Amino acid sequence: MERAPPLAETLIVAAQSLSVRLSTLRFSPPVSHVYNPLIYAWSAHQLYLRRYGASTRRVVFLGMNPGPFGMVQSGVPFGEVAAVRDWLGIESEVHKPEGENPWRPIEGFACSRSEVSGRRLWGLFRERFGTADAFFAEHFVANYCPLAFFDHGRNLTPDKLPAAEAAALRLACDTHLRTLVSALQPQWVIGVGAFAATRAAGALVGSGVRTGRVLHPSPASPLANRGWAEAASGQLRALGVWD
């Protein structure tokens, strides 16, 4: 594989460092399984960083953590398989993780279930910009935390972790976010949902980067189900991120 451009190489090294740091953390019940796509789906994630993280960006969209049928399967933030394969043009081998969760098996790009949040997010960008290259000319999408947590068949979000475990996780993820922002030099970091927006605002104090928030596209949100793309576009226009 050809050497990545210098900025993409910075993002690749930062992601690897975050993955190693997170591998030292331990999580107590009700967490039964932890997935780290930066290990078992590293090939796809590295392709994403190489292809779409090669230069500075005006806007970074920041998600919370991987969804069970999104980045957990594809290795790409908000990585609904069809969007990653067909619009981003990324498809790669995804291995089985150690300690696979039998309630949430890893099928990689063979996963037939759609991650609604990712379908909505990438769908909006496709509708507005047409091509992935046009979108990524000024934008980038990342996740604050690359780990997915499960209570057997139930998805657990990072805000549900015990305080001490959450603090250690935040310390590592805040450091990585600051490295990502230093490399990409965005004017804006937009949290997709309240958790990501709060973490971005806290981690980037004093950086000069402006932070904001859009509604999370989760199907668990009644507001998102009434027209997420229109709501998010309106919020971005109100912030002055989009015209």
Supply φ then ψ for residue 173, to 5 degrees: -70, -35
Strands 59-63 and 139-143, bridge-based pairing: parallel
Q: Torsion over CA of 96, 99, 105 and 110, rounded to 10 degrees?
A: -10
pLDDT tens per residue across span 82-119 = 999 999 999 999 999 999 999 999 999 999 999 999 99
Q: What is the pTM of this model?
A: 0.97
Question: Closest Cα partner for 116 from 33, 32, 218?
Answer: 218
Contact 4, 49 (CB under 8 A): yes
Task: Give, for all 243 residues of the chain, the pLDDT tens digit.
Answer: 566 789 999 999 999 999 999 999 999 999 999 999 999 999 999 999 999 999 999 999 999 999 999 999 999 999 999 999 999 999 999 999 999 999 999 999 999 999 999 999 999 999 999 999 999 999 999 999 999 999 999 999 999 999 999 999 999 999 999 999 999 999 999 999 999 999 999 999 999 999 999 999 999 999 999 999 999 999 999 999 999
Q: Any idea where the domains of the chain sit in the sequence?
A: 6-239
pLDDT tens per residue across span 135-158 = 999 999 999 999 999 999 999 999
- Looking at 3.40.470.10, 3.30.1600.10, 3.40.980.10, 1.20.272.10, the CATH number of the domain 6-239 comes to 3.40.470.10
